[in-house]
Structure 1
Amino acid sequence: MKSLALKYGNNPHQQPAYIDMPDGNDLPLTVRNGRPGYINLLDALNSWQLVRELRTATGQACAASFKHVSPTSAAVGKPLSPELKKAVFVDDIAGLDDSPLACAYARARGTDRLCSFGDFIALSDICDVTTAQLIRREVSDGVIAPGYDPAALEILRAKRGGNYTVLEIDPAYTPGAEEIKTVFGIHFHQGRNDRQIDESLLQEVVTKNKNLPPQARLDLIIGLITLKYTQSNSVCFSYDGQAIGVGAGQQSRIHCTRLAAGKADTWFLRQHPLVLALPFRAELHRAERDNLIDGYINQNEEDVCAEGTWQRYFTSRPTPLSAEMKAEYLEKITGVSLTSDAFFPFSDNIKRAAKSGVSYVAQPGGSIRDDAVIAECDKHGIVMAFNHLRLFHH
C-alpha cells in the first residue's frame, strides 16, 4: 500500500487528507480494521517509536497511552500490586500476571485515566488475548502493534461497533536519517532524533548523594524515553516501571513540574485505602467512577460526599478524604524519579518535586543556576545526574 486516505486532517473541514512515503515505497503499516484520522496516525507513529525504543532499552514488553501527540504514560510489563490492580480497574482480569504486555498496558492506561480517555495505544509486542480484553472495555480510538494473535484481532475488530482502528506496523522498518515537515508551505529539514537513551546518560552524578539503585536507573530511562516523544516543554515523574505523571507542552518548566507532580500525587492517592474502598453503585460506568475519584481526590471531597449527592453514586456515604489525610499519605512517598527534556532554570522545580517524593533526577544541566539546583537537591538528599542531552520534541 503506497498511500492511505484518512478520515480528515486535524479538523473535519481539512480535506482531503492522506499519508504516503516520499520515496514512493509502500507504507510500513497496514490497517487491520477501521479508518484512522490524521491525529490518530500522529499518535500511532509517535507512540510506536516510544515503545519500540523502550523495549530495546529495557528488554521488557512495553505499552504507551497517547493523546494529542503526547503520552499520558508509558510502562514496562511489571506485575501490578493488588492495590494498583484495584486502583486501575483490572483486579477482575484472570491471568493478568501471565501477560507482561497486558501488565504494561494496564499500567499505562491506568496512570492518568482522565487524560487517557479516548487514547491511542501502542504495544511493543504482538497483542495477545489478555491485552485485547483490557483494550476492549476502555474508551479508546485505536491501537498500533507489530502483530496480533488471531483471537485478539477478532476481539479488537468487534470494538466500537466494528469501527475501532487497528494498525499493524512492520517492526523492521527504520526511517531515513532526515525528517521533513511542512509549515505554512515551507519545508523544514532536520536529522532524525536517533540518539540512543541508556544508562550511559546517568554516569555524571553531581549531587552529594550518589546512590542510584537499579530500579531508579530503570525509572529514569523510562522517563527520558517518554520525554523524547512528548511535546515540549516537558517533565516526567516515573516510579516502579512506569511514567506516573507527564507535564507536556507548557511554556514554563515550573508549570510542567507542577502539572506532572499533581498527576503523580493523584496516581498515588488512587491507591489510598479510602479511595479503594469507595462504595460505587454497580451501574456506574468506568468513566463515571474516574470522574468521581478525581473529584474525591483533587476537588472538594465534600461535594462528592455531601448529603443529597453521594446517594446518586454510592451505596453508602464515603468517608471524606481530608487535606490533612492526603498530606500525611503523600509525605511517606519516596523513590520517585524525575526527568526533564531541558535544564531546570531555577531550584523551584526541585522544591516542588521533593513534595511529591522525588528521590532521583536526570536532566541535561547547563543552566547558569545549576549550583542552586544542585544545592536544593542536596538539601533533600536527592540524587541528580546530568545527562547533557536536550530532548525537545515538536
Structure 2
Amino acid sequence: MTVTAISATRTEAAPVRRALISVSDKTGLTDLAAALAARGVEILSTGGSAGALRQAGIAVRDVAEVTGFPEVMDGRVKTLHPNVHGGLLAARSNDEHRAAMAAHGIPEIDLLVVNLYPFEDTLAGGADAATIVENIDIGGPAMIRAAAKNHNDVTVIVDPQDYEGLLAELEAQDGATSRAFRERMALTAFSRTAAYDAAVSGWMAGAFAQGQPRRRAFAGTLRQGLRYGENPHQSAAFYADGSARPGVATATQLQGKELSYNNINDTDAAYELVAEFGGEGPGDRPACVIVKHANPCGVALGDTPREAWSRAFDCDRTSAFGGIVALNRPLDGETAEEIARIFTEVVIAPGADEEARRILSAKKNVRLLVTDGLPDPRAGGPAWRQVSGGMLVQDRDTGFVARDALKLATKAAPTEAQLDDLMFAWTVAKHVKSNAIVYARDGQTVGIGAGQMSRLDSAMIAAAKAGRMAEALGLSESPVKGAAVASDAFFPFADGLLEAVEAGATCVIQPGGSMRDDEVIAAADAHGIAMVLTGMRHFRH
C-alpha cells in the first residue's frame, strides 16, 4: 500500500484563533478560557462546559450552532460531526482540504481542549456495570485523536496540568504554538487515549471475557521519574495503573528522600505480605514485615506494633539493616523510636501518629509512607511481567487454604499450637522467592531460605540463618528446635525434609503432589513428625 503525505509543509508556528473546549474535569476551566478570550480566541463549547463558561461571563459559541445539529441521546451525540472533525483534521496547506472546508462551511479549529469522562474513577468507585458503560467516552477520544494526528496545524490539550504551559506558550509565540510544543501535546494526547482504552478493555476483559482475550492492553500514569533503575546505568520511571488497591502506588510520602526503583519494588513486596495478616479484624494481630531485596528477612506477630517489630528484627538482625519495614497497623511513636535505632530505607503503614512522625523526622533519609488501608490479599486482578517480545499475564495469587482444608499425611497430627505456626509459615512462604523454605515458631519466622536452585539448599540456608539468630540473641540452641517448616512447593526428594528435621523442625506444611510423596511421608513418619498437605503451591519467581 502506498501512503501519500497530505502535506509536505511543516508548520512551525500555528496561530490559535478558534478553540473547542469540552471537558469533564472543570479544574482551571474558567481561568484558561478567560485567558484565551482575552487573546481574541473564539471559543466553541458543549453542554456543561459551555454552561460553566457562560456563568463565568465568558462568551461561548455552541458546537450545535457549528454543526447545525442539536445534542441528542443524553449528550451521547454532540461532536461526532464533519463540521467538527473537518475543522480538526483539515491540513491547512492542502488546497483540496481548504476547498472542502469552504464548500461545506467547516470552520478551522486550531486548539482542542478535551478531557474524558471519568471512566477510571467510576470503575474504582465500584459503580454498577450500566454506570461504568455510560462513562465510556466516545466523542472525546475521537476528537483528541483527530487533533493529535493533525498536530502539524492543531494543538491538543487533554490534561488541566498542561493549561499553564499552553498559556506560557501562547505568550512566548505571540498567540501561536511551536511545532515542538504541539508534538509534545500530541504524544500526551495519544498516550491518554491509549491508557483510556486500556482501562476500558481491561475492565471488559474481567467482566466479559471467558478465558484470555485475544489482545491485552496495559497502561499507566507517570507517578514519578526515578534517578535510575535497578542499577545506575538504567533509566527508570514509576507508573500507577489507576487501581484503588492500597499500596506504594497510592501511598502518601510524608518524609524522606525520593523513592528508588528498588525501594518501590521492595516496599510493594513488604506491604503485600503484611496485608496477609489483616488489620483490626477479630483474631488479627499487629504484624511487621522486614524485606530485603524483595524477600522477607523477618516476619512476626505481636501484641503491639512495637513487639511485632522487635520480633521481626530479631529474625535476622544483619539483613534488616537497610531494609524495608511494613506494618499492618498505624505506626505509633513507641514503634517508630525502635525502628529509628537502625538504618531503614522505607517504613510503610496504614497511618502514622504525630509522635511517630516527629521521631522519624530526625531521620531525614527514611522514607515514611502512609496508605488509606491494606490491600486485600483475596482480591483478584491481572498481574503481568515483561519478557523479550511479549508479556506474561496471570491472575494475582489469591490462593488460600483454610485450616480445616489441610490434609493430614502422617501418623502424627499437629497440635493446635503447631497448626498456628504451620499456617503462619505457609503464609510467609507464599511471599518468598522459590525455592522457599520458612521456619517459624510462635508467630515469628526464625529462618528463611529463598531463591535457591535446590530446595535442599534453601533448607540448609534457612537453618544456618536460624543459627546466627541464636548467636545474636544469646540463645542456648537454634530456634528451629520445635519449629514448624513450610515449603512453597512439594519436596521432590526426602533430603530437603530430612535437612529440616535434622535442624529441629517438628512439623511440616507443603503442597504434596510429588512422585516421591510416599518416600517423603515415610521419612516424616520415621522421625515422628507431623505433616499436612495443602494441595496448592505458591511458586514466586
C-alpha distance in 2 between matches for 1:25 and 1:43: 17
Cα deviation, 1:249-275, whole Å, max 9, x if unaligned, reads 0011100110111112332344446xx
| Residues 1:233 and 1:25: Cα distance change in structure 2 (over 3 Å) | closer
2:289 maps to a residue whose letter is A
Give yes or no for contact 2:497–2:520 (8 Å, CA) kept in 1.
yes
| Residues 1:23 and 1:261: Cα distance change in structure 2 (over 3 Å) | closer
Hey, what does 1:307 align to over in structure 2? none
Hey, what does 1:305 align to over in structure 2? none
Q: How many residues get paired?
A: 314
| Residues 1:185 and 1:20: Cα distance change in structure 2 (over 3 Å) | farther
Give yes or no for contact 2:290–2:312 (8 Å, CA) kept in 1.
yes
Choose which of 496, 503, 512 in structure 2 pairs with 1:365: 512
How far the C-alpha of 1:129 sits from its partner, in A, is 0.7
Within 5 Å, give how 1:5-154 maps onto structure 2. Answer: 5-21=225-241, 27-34=249-256, 35-55=258-278, 59-78=284-303, 100-154=304-358
Hey, what does 1:178 align to over in structure 2? 382
How far the C-alpha of 1:233 sits from its partner, in A, is 1.0
| Residues 1:14 and 1:66: Cα distance change in structure 2 (over 3 Å) | same
C-alpha distance in 2 between matches for 1:334 and 1:113: 20
How far the C-alpha of 1:172 sits from its partner, in A, is 5.5
How far the C-alpha of 1:111 sits from its partner, in A, is 0.8
Q: Which moved more, 1:40-49 or 1:175-184?
A: 175-184
1:252 and 2:454 correspond:
yes
Cα deviation, 1:347-394, whole Å, max 9, x if unaligned, reads 111221112221110000111111111111112110000111110112
Give yes or no for contact 1:74–1:222 (8 Å, CA) kept in 2.
no
Highest relative contact order (Cα 8 Å, sep 6+), 1 or 2? 1
C-alpha distance in 2 between matches for 1:381 and 1:176: 39
Within 5 Å, give how 1:184-203 maps onto structure 2. Answer: 184-201=388-405, 203=406
> What's the secondary structure of 1:358's corresponding residue?
coil
1:166 and 2:388 correspond:
no
Q: Which moved more, 1:171-180 or 1:371-380?
A: 171-180
C-alpha distance in 2 between matches for 1:198 and 1:23: 28
Choose which of 327, 335, 354 in structure 1 pairs with 2:482: 335
Q: Which has the larger radius of gyration?
A: 2
1:215 and 2:438 correspond:
no
How far the C-alpha of 1:199 sits from its partner, in A, is 1.5
Hey, what does 1:205 align to over in structure 2? 408
Within 5 Å, give how 1:224-235 maps onto structure 2. Answer: 224-235=426-437
> What's the secondary structure of 1:355's corresponding residue?
helix
Runs of at least 5 residues in structure 2 that lack an aligned partner in the other structure: 1-220
How far the C-alpha of 1:49 sits from its partner, in A, is 1.2
C-alpha distance in 1 between matches for 2:389 and 2:335: 42
C-alpha distance in 2 between matches for 1:24 and 1:213: 40
Give yes or no for contact 1:228–1:391 (8 Å, CA) kept in 2.
yes
Q: Which moved more, 1:213-222 or 1:377-386?
A: 213-222
Give yes or no for contact 1:65–1:120 (8 Å, CA) kept in 2.
yes
Give yes or no for contact 1:6–1:19 (8 Å, CA) kept in 2.
no
C-alpha distance in 2 between matches for 1:208 and 1:25: 43
| Residues 1:146 and 1:375: Cα distance change in structure 2 (over 3 Å) | same
Give yes or no for contact 1:2–1:21 (8 Å, CA) kept in 2.
no
| Residues 1:240 and 1:172: Cα distance change in structure 2 (over 3 Å) | closer
C-alpha distance in 1 between matches for 2:244 and 2:521: 51
| Residues 1:342 and 1:39: Cα distance change in structure 2 (over 3 Å) | same
Give yes or no for contact 2:437–2:458 (8 Å, CA) kept in 1.
yes
Cα deviation, 1:101-136, whole Å, max 9, x if unaligned, reads 111111111211112221001100000111100111
Hey, what does 1:288 align to over in structure 2? none
How far the C-alpha of 1:144 sits from its partner, in A, is 0.8
| Residues 1:355 and 1:32: Cα distance change in structure 2 (over 3 Å) | same
Runs (4+) off by over 6 Å: 23-26
Give yes or no for contact 1:224–1:341 (8 Å, CA) kept in 2.
yes
Runs of at least 5 residues in structure 1 that lack an aligned partner in the other structure: 79-99, 274-325
> What's the secondary structure of 1:182's corresponding residue?
strand
How far the C-alpha of 1:74 sits from its partner, in A, is 0.8
How far the C-alpha of 1:71 sits from its partner, in A, is 0.3
2:387 maps to a residue whose letter is V
C-alpha distance in 2 between matches for 1:228 and 1:270: 27
TM-score (norm 2): 0.55
How far the C-alpha of 1:38 sits from its partner, in A, is 1.0
Give yes or no for contact 2:228–2:235 (8 Å, CA) kept in 1.
yes
C-alpha distance in 2 between matches for 1:259 and 1:358: 14
1:344 maps to a residue whose letter is F
Give yes or no for contact 1:261–1:356 (8 Å, CA) kept in 2.
yes
Hey, what does 2:534 align to over in structure 1? 387
| Residues 1:358 and 1:172: Cα distance change in structure 2 (over 3 Å) | closer
C-alpha distance in 1 between matches for 2:244 and 2:502: 53
C-alpha distance in 2 between matches for 1:167 and 1:115: 21
C-alpha distance in 2 between matches for 1:176 and 1:157: 37
| Residues 1:333 and 1:223: Cα distance change in structure 2 (over 3 Å) | closer
Give yes or no for contact 1:157–1:166 (8 Å, CA) kept in 2.
no
Choose which of 325, 328, 348 in structure 1 pairs with 2:495: 348
C-alpha distance in 2 between matches for 1:16 and 1:121: 23
C-alpha distance in 1 between matches for 2:515 and 2:341: 49
Give yes or no for contact 2:483–2:506 (8 Å, CA) kept in 1.
yes
1:125 maps to a residue whose letter is R
TM-score (norm 1): 0.74
